[in-house]
Amino acid sequence: MEATPDPTADPAQLRKALEWELSLDTRDLRSHAWYHGAIPRSRAEEILQDNGDFLVRDCASQPGNYVLSCRSKTQGLHFVINKVVIQPDTVYERVQYQFEDDAYDTVPDLIT
């Protein structure tokens, strides 16, 4: 996985990184502005300034899972999105992402 472009980088490097990001399939989390990768909870809370702001980040304590972080009034809230393997070790194996009682085939489906 490539790193998020550094806005202070050389303009040519930034252009190349942005063109690469725009070429990604929408099922790839890196193609979405709300995905921030492996950032800590404290950094997520710094980013989320306004009521209703949200982002998705990698879960540090449970690799393979994600965290939906959002701002609600004056506090940050963090919810784990669990990666669940359905019918493991069979030809029907597939992955879903579960948030509370709902499950989706992709994280973008869950968010939108």
Task: Kindly tell me if the per-residue pLDDT of 76 is higher than 80.
Answer: yes
Same domain, 47 and 88: yes
Largest CA distance in the chain: 48
CA distance 89 to 46: 41
pLDDT tens, 25-69?
777 788 888 999 999 999 999 999 999 999 999 999 999 999 999
Same domain, 54 and 102: yes
pLDDT for the residue numbered 7 = 56
Same domain, 61 and 103: yes
Same domain, 59 and 13: no
Per the prediction, the chain carries an average pLDDT of 87
- Per the model's pLDDT, the better-predicted residue between 3 and 111 turns out to be 111
Same domain, 60 and 44: yes
Same domain, 9 and 47: no
pLDDT for the residue numbered 27 = 76
Task: Kindly tell me if the per-residue pLDDT of 5 is higher than 60.
Answer: no
Same domain, 9 and 36: no
Same domain, 26 and 52: no
pLDDT for the residue numbered 8 = 62
Task: Kindly tell me if the per-residue pLDDT of 1 is higher than 50.
Answer: no
State the total domains in the chain: 2
Same domain, 56 and 103: yes
The enclosing domain of 85 has a CATH number of 3.30.505.10
CA distance 59 to 79: 10
